[in-house]
Chain A
């Protein structure tokens, strides 16, 4: 009997079983979180999913193709503003004659358009800059991110596109098959509050992003990206059109950013330039780097850790200080950023391939140690 069991549980089966268990755990996650920590934490988990999507998108650019992009959040902003403009009463306020009620396009129409627009911005930025060497590219993309932010902040006059620093509010919630996700639903006797509904929507998108990433990684395109990352000249000598493939990486990453941006706008119901600062770009980059560049699971881990860490700190640092000193000496926001900074330095110094590097990377590190 044990022999039969063993043969059933061959490596492939074991992996499948593990995957199924994991899936069940993830599906139950909002309920567990709700019961153990409260509804606010489900919302936090929802945001973490958005960050994971962003990190996976950036991973294509940084992890696979080796192009350091410090302005990645701009694509997130493009997606978010796309839906904010077309799915809110904002246009009605700005142009009552043209759009008496605003546009109120369906989320599912805006989503592909926003993805395409973000991808277009990716190509627009990439085309002139991709021949630059790594660190220069980083600074230029950083500049691009800031340009987008400055425009978002100031394009409220004389023509009101973005409503300036106040941002755009009252964005329509996302609805799936006619059901608004901003409501509580009963399914087979189970009550699903809005944050749960959004969780499952985001989960679906995250799985899609994971699927796309892993398929790309193991394809001819993914190999070409890694060739470019390793040695651009050798890659071009192998017949790889490095310019086009780098543009493709930029566009794909930007599209992921645009998609998560539209989801963000629909979920939060409000966007303002504040959400798209350089710090956000850095944060997403940290997720990729700390997790393990080029490794999907590592990046997911990085995204999860860094998205949840500030909340954990928020809930522990203040009470801890209150208990110790009777007052709040250090505000949790700056403490969390401080820890981020320290983590970036420490990880780069001691685990340059990230917390959970891919198997290949791990092997390479080990062999390096042997060589030393």
Chain B
């Protein structure tokens, strides 16, 4: 039972990160009907930027509790710029091209970002500096530490904030209008290009935060971390119903739980034949199963190909 609780906690922490990244996928998909394949790399860039800034600031003697928000803001700004640039360079010129064209440029962008990161930060793992006394708490036999608590609370806060932006502000209204019908929105005076840019920037800002969270939770970051994370977050978005914000959050948390419970119990279930090293397989099986049995996801509308 203790293992069970522990896996639930781990799953929720991981799931919060997935949810934040999945929101980026789902927002772009909702508005452009496009899978932003490079989004995972934005998360990686966010983590690396934050980590570099943090290390530098602490090196200059800035107190950790000031250094953390400053480097986070820097990373967010960097990622927003990046997201803006990606859309301008790789997606906007192809908005009316066949569907596969932007997917291929997106793969190109991922490769470029990954290798630029490798040139800048090298192949090695970067350790996350010890900022605060990361205390562990015992909850019903399971352990949760301060960083994990902060992650869950921040993620929930950000999701609530995003929902407020989308449903309460005029910007959110414009976003929903463009998602519904780009052409009609344009006729109504919505600056479609601006809305799309802003969507990419919002998603990228969330990605930067998620990147910092992951590296804080695992204590390290490196240039290759974005790929698998991005793929899993995409799975989460599909699981919840791509294009649907609530779906992305639900899908993220669910996928985190499935993965951590699966990894915890796969050994017992298969009589020791398969072990926790198969953790990464779960996401892909979930992805395939969802797409085959319920392509619209848990909360999505029917997405079957148009007649």
Q: Measuring CB to CB, which residues of chain A are less than 8 angstroms from any residue of chain B?
A: 68, 128-129, 131-136, 138-140, 142-144, 146-147, 150-151, 153-154, 157-159, 232-233, 278, 282, 285, 289, 330-331, 334-335, 337-338, 340-345, 348-349, 352
Verify B101–A352 contact, CB threshold 8 A. Answer: yes
Contact stretch, chosen from B91-99, B183-191, B248-256: B91-99
User: Given A337-B114, A337-B115, A338-B111, are A143 and B231 also a contact pair (CB < 8 Å)?
Assistant: yes
Verify A289–B104 contact, CB threshold 8 A. Answer: yes
**Whole-angstrom distance between the alpha carbons of A159 and B295 in the complex?**
35
Partner of A133, one of B89, B109, B119, B305: B305
User: Is there a chain A Cβ closer than 8 Å to B291's Cβ?
Assistant: yes
Verify B295–A158 contact, CB threshold 8 A. Answer: no
Verify A233–B307 contact, CB threshold 8 A. Answer: yes
| CB-contacts of B266-307 with A (<8 A) | 272-275, 277-278, 280-281, 283-285, 287-288, 291-292, 295, 303, 305, 307
User: Is there a chain A Cβ closer than 8 Å to B90's Cβ?
Assistant: yes
* Nearest B-chain residue to A68, judged by Cβ: B100
User: Given A146-B280, A154-B277, A349-B93, are A344 and B288 also a contact pair (CB < 8 Å)?
Assistant: no
- The A interface is mostly helix, strand or loop, or mixed, namely helix
Q: Which residues of A contact B93 (CB under 8 A)?
A: 349
| CB-contacts of B108-126 with A (<8 A) | 108-116, 118-119
Partner of A143, one of B94, B115, B284, B307: B284
User: Given A140-B288, A150-B280, are A135 and B100 also a contact pair (CB < 8 Å)?
Assistant: yes
User: Is there a chain A Cβ closer than 8 Å to B103's Cβ?
Assistant: yes
Q: Which residues of A contact B104 (CB under 8 A)?
A: 285, 289, 344, 348
Verify B285–A147 contact, CB threshold 8 A. Answer: yes
Instruction: Report the minimal beta-carbon distance from B160 to chain A, rounded to whole angstroms.
Output: 29
Verify B288–A348 contact, CB threshold 8 A. Answer: no
* B89, B94, B113, B305 interface centre (most CB from chain A within 10 Å): B305
Instruction: Report the minimal beta-carbon distance from B241 to chain A, rounded to whole angstroms.
Output: 13
Verify A340–B288 contact, CB threshold 8 A. Answer: no
Sample of 11 further A-B pairs with CB below 8 A, known A134-B103, A150-B277, A348-B97:
A68-B100, A128-B288, A129-B292, A136-B291, A139-B238, A147-B284, A153-B277, A154-B277, A285-B104, A289-B104, A335-B115
